[in-house]
Amino acid sequence: MAFRGSLFKFLVVITLYDAFLTVNSQAETTDPTKMTAAILVRVDQSGKGDYTKIQDAIDAVPSNNTELVFVLIKPGIYKEKVTVPADKPFITVSGTKVAETIITWNDSENIFECATFTVLASDFVARYLTIQNTYGNGAQAVALRVSGDRAAFIGCRIISYQDTLLDDTGRHYYSNCYIEGATDFICGNAASVFEKCHLHSVSEGAGAITAQRRESPAEDTGFTFLGCTITGVKTAVLGRPWGPYSRVVFAFSYISSAILPQGWDDWGDSSKQSTVYYGQYKCYGRGAITSKRVGWARSLTSQEASPFLTKDFIGAKDWIRPAPTSFRTASKPISHHSDGNN
């Protein structure tokens, strides 16, 4: 029995690499912007796909992967915590209907442990997914944690209450996403561009949309919001500083009256007023009026705003990749229901 179990494990490893191993050499020589073909893996709760769970599909990708892997999720409610490990780059996880493809969990542990969906890998893409943490008010409850470099989220819904999106480290791009929360619901120390996103505060009081954590002026991090829409059920501020050199810029964005006239909060530490970088450029709406902003907020000139007005802020030309144009299926998908003794 021991021999048969070892043989099964050996065959599993061989089959995984037959499905996923690239003919190219090292991962570091791969240019994501020129990768157009992908291995297609289907996740379907009814059992008609390759896997019934999202995590199983990700687990099947070999370490140090260098090929595009496109994990297609059939609509449904997936009650699972999902992690994309650091050694599994070049994965896309995609739904087809954002409102019908829901990844959900209910957790409120440590901010770095409670996320419904955690991305540790580089060169990750998510498309048309709803990612939510249903814990509610009262504790940190992250829906999405992004701690890998070069990650993009297209047309996703990210929903929780406190610390909804832990935009932790790396360079990230969010396009046409809906992000909802009440307290510091976009937080972390990544360098990120949010383009045409809808930020919605559900705070019953003076909640904060952002809590950016830049620790020193040497760090090239910060959040830039381009052409976004900001709404809320009551009142909120645009941000407060998690780190002393917190940096956030809103440009060309609609800001509703849900945003308080002062715009920003120093989190009870007036010393941060001289070190934070909170800017606004050509925004509009009743909440965009700058005449009553705190004295340490910036109304940016075109020259001051220029570095933040394109995706060059995150070096996007070098890594944001288009959707694949061709697919092939894994030749021998592995069943994760085997016990290893048959």
- Residue 336 belongs to a domain: no
Q: Which of 149, 167, 184, 265 is catalytic?
A: 184
158-173 pLDDT, tens digit each: 999 999 999 999 999 9
Please provide the distance, in angstroms rounded to a whole number, between the alpha carbons at the two ends of the chain.
Answer: 9
Average pLDDT over residues 247-268: 98
* 3-class secondary-structure state, position 146: strand
Residues 80 and 115: beta-carbon distance below 8 Å: no
Nearest CA to 260 out of 308, 213, 193, 209 is that of 209
Q: Give the C-alpha separation, 202 to 286, whole Å.
A: 18
In the residue annotation, 163 being an active-site residue is answered as yes
The string of DSSP codes covering 42-63 is EE-TTTTSSBSSHHHHHHTSPT
What local confidence, expressed as pLDDT, does residue 228 receive?
98
Please report the pLDDT score of residue 17 as a whole number: 42
pLDDT of residue 251 exceeding 60: yes
Which listed residue (149, 163, 168, 265) is catalytic? Answer: 163
pLDDT band at 336 (very low <50, low <70, confident <90, very high): very low
What pLDDT score does 8 carry? 36
Tell me if 339 is assigned to some domain. no
Task: Read off the DSSP letter of residue 80.
Answer: -
- Give the pLDDT band (50/70/90) at residue 77: very high
Residue 307: inside a domain: yes
pLDDT at 35 over 60: yes
**Within-domain flag for 274:** yes
Q: What is the mean pLDDT of the chain?
A: 90
**Any domain includes 8:** yes
Domains of the chain: total: 1
* In-domain check, residue 342: no
| CATH number of the domain within which 199 lies | 2.160.20.10
Residue 249 falls within a domain, yes or no? Answer: yes
- Residue 300 belongs to domain spanning: 2-329
pLDDT of 18 over the 70 cut: no
pLDDT band at 339 (very low <50, low <70, confident <90, very high): very low
Q: What is the pLDDT of residues 142-159, one digit of tens each?
A: 999 999 999 999 999 999
Q: Give the range among 8-22, 220-234, 293-307 with minimum mean pLDDT.
A: 8-22
| Residue 224 resides in a domain | yes
Q: What is the pLDDT of residue 329?
A: 84
pLDDT of residue 331: 62
Is residue 101 within 8 A of residue 95, CB to CB? The reply is yes
> Judging by beta carbons within 10 Å of its beta carbon (0-12, 13-18, 19+), is residue 196 exposed, middle or buried?
middle
